[in-house]
Structure 1
Amino acid sequence: MRMDDWPDYRALMRSERARFMGGPHDEAGAWGMFCSDIAQWALMDHGALMIDDKATGRCLGQVGINHGPLFPEHELGWFVYDHAEGRGYAFEAARALRDWAKTVRRLPALVSYMDPDNHRSARLAERLGAVLDRQAPRPDPADLVYRHFGP
């Protein structure tokens, strides 16, 4: 992540599209999330990565592994900006980070927490091979939890 990524990130987190990520957020909340995504690399050896178009360098979205006091388990999360939706970028990035988490970090499991109305993300989790885990702990009691691997 770079400071150049902040304006688009802020705009998404302050928009109605952020409703599936606890938003819309005010500027301070969006900034805290942005900084947390970066800080997790130093604190936990994982965090968020921006998804960039190799040809143009344009940022398409983000994929990340979240953990810490706000997440009961390691969470695989993703989003893409409007201009990148429906092109498979989130699937490709999430699959690559999921595989890295399993083979390099050797995490026993990943989950994805999602709003029950976020049908596109649920379909993506299922395409990634995740299964609904109704017994898993969750940060928001209303969230669905998709388990990517492990018990």
Structure 2
Amino acid sequence: MSNVLETERLILRPPIADDFDAWAAFMADEEDARFIGGAMNRAVAWRAMMIMMGSWSAYGIGMFSVIEKSSNEWIGRIGPWQPEGWPGTEVGWGIRNSAQGKGYALEAAAISMDYAVEHLGWSTIIHTIDSENLASEKLAKRLGSVLMKRDVFLPAPLNTEPVNVWGQTAHQWALNRQSLTNSSKS
């Protein structure tokens, strides 16, 4: 399995330099970045994107750039992620507000979870979610994840507010993925 994934409507691939303007605009937007570390200026966003690119190069994991096929537009970042000190093997997500409500996050998260299990061999997938982020909790539930732990602190510099850990095992994902696929066909 390559590290470029495709769904009917999306392409997920490791970030490239041409993604930077869209990435920086996304991370500068208070609402878009609220639950993924907070808004940041271009210089800090550049460093954050370079971290993702370096993680892909060194470890074969990181947030994919999510590209909408019909417009070739960068709409967010979703993917397998496990920085040092993280509470587990995570598939995380962040989609621009302007692209929300179209099912893109569900579509991209599901194929990212497939990648994490089938390519990376992960036995558990978590999602670290701020308790105020009801949209992400709803997505986690749609994916079949359950609340595993409350009030977990991530490593610095993200250790100022606790998050909740949602997740499921690879076996549970196989069952939930089948249910998700069947429900999308009906």
TM-score (norm: length of structure 2): 0.74
* Matching residue within 1, 4, 8 for 2:22: 8
Question: Deviations along 1:95-148, whole A, 9 cap, x unmatched?
Answer: 001011112211111111111111101100110011111169541451011113
Q: Is the 8 A contact 1:74 1:111 kept in 2?
A: yes
Where does residue 166 of structure 2 map in the other structure? 146
Moved beyond 4 Å, runs of 4+: 135-138
- Supply the distance in 2 between the matched residues of 1:26 and 1:116 (Cα, whole angstroms): 25
Unaligned runs of 5+ in 2: 1-14, 173-186
Unaligned runs of 5+ in 1: none
Residue 103 of structure 1 pairs with residue 118 of structure 2: yes
DSSP 3-state at the match of 1:21:
coil
- Supply the distance in 1 between the matched residues of 2:41 and 2:130 (Cα, whole angstroms): 20
How many equivalent residue pairs? 151
Deviates more, 1:93-102 or 1:70-79: 70-79
Specify whether residues 14 and 100 from structure 1 end up closer, same or farther in structure 2 by C-alpha distance, changes over 3 A only: same
Two-structure CA RMSD over aligned residues (Å): 2.0
Question: Deviations along 1:43-90, whole A, 9 cap, x unmatched?
Answer: 211112111122221122111211121523121111111321100011
- Supply the distance in 2 between the matched residues of 1:64 and 1:132 (Cα, whole angstroms): 19
DSSP 3-state at the match of 1:69:
coil
Residue 113 of structure 1 pairs with residue 146 of structure 2: no
Where does residue 87 of structure 2 map in the other structure? 72
* Matching residue within 52, 58, 72 for 1:57: 72
Identical positions, percent: 28
Q: Is the 8 A contact 1:128 1:148 kept in 2?
A: no
TM-score (norm: length of structure 1): 0.89
Where does residue 82 of structure 1 map in the other structure? 97
Residue 131 of structure 1 pairs with residue 151 of structure 2: no
- Mark the structure with the bigger radius of gyration: 2
DSSP 3-state at the match of 2:20:
helix
Q: Is the 8 A contact 1:110 1:148 kept in 2?
A: yes
Deviation at 1:29, TM superposition (A): 2.5
Specify whether residues 46 and 142 from structure 1 end up closer, same or farther in structure 2 by C-alpha distance, changes over 3 A only: same
